[in-house]
Amino acid sequence: MGIDELLSMLERALEDEKGDLDRRVAVYNQIVAMASAYLDLPHPVTCPQLVPVDRVHGNEYNPNKVAPPEMRLLTLSIEKDGMTMPVVVADDKNGWVVVDGFHRRRVAKAKAHIRQSLGGYLPIVRLNKSLEDRITSTVRHNMARGAHQVELTAKLVTLLRRHNWTNERIGKELGMDPDEVLRLKQMQGLAEAFSDREFSRAWDVDAQTRAAGQKKRSDSRL
């Protein structure tokens, strides 16, 4: 039997399939997975799947923050055009964790009418990566859109260093030159220093002392 005959049989079988949404989603996922394996291209986008939105969790490190006007625009875009981009996820012990698409997932979960239109499911593509590799994937996605925040990206660089990543590896994975990696590390190091209460109090006292001295000198010249 040729492939064209098999496709015709599949089309007729799908027309006769009267299962509920969960059954149809399961069949859809299986057909797409088979088609992706047949295509044999090394890109996650060739194998989109539908998974329950409640089993997709946000990550705790995303440096991309969206202001309320942009969130409203994202919601409107999905309302008007539908969900046009899958959320990128990695497998997690409780389901899946977001690598890219944190805000699309939030809209699909929190906005009742959009959630209903998706049948409680979320379109995703999977990446099989460790935690630190997921972090770099998130940063790359955000940077490619010009949407990352410098301070939070600096925190992620520090986190990668704690996983024993070298500056060279960080730069290679994030598309940064060595000087940029060093600046981000220095920025985070300064922020951590100022977050220490004793250091902050000492700095405040020292600053007040200098200000008082400057005022005294200024008064003496009057």
Q: Which residues of the chain have pLDDT under 50?
A: 147, 190, 193-205, 207, 215
Fold of 41-147: 3.90.1530
**In whole angstroms, what is the distance from residue 152 CA to residue 159 CA?**
11
Residues 6+ apart with CB under 8 A from 176: 170, 184
Q: What is the pTM of this model?
A: 0.65
Strand order of the sheet with strand 56-57?
49-52, 121-127, 87-92, 95-100, 56-57
Give CA–CA dist 50/118, Å, rounded. Answer: 9
Q: What is the pLDDT of residues 48-61, one digit of tens each?
A: 999 999 999 988 77
Both tokens of residue 219? 């008064």
Domains in the chain: boundaries = 41-147, 149-222
**Residue 202, pLDDT score:** 43
Kind and range of the H or E run holding 144:
helix 131-144
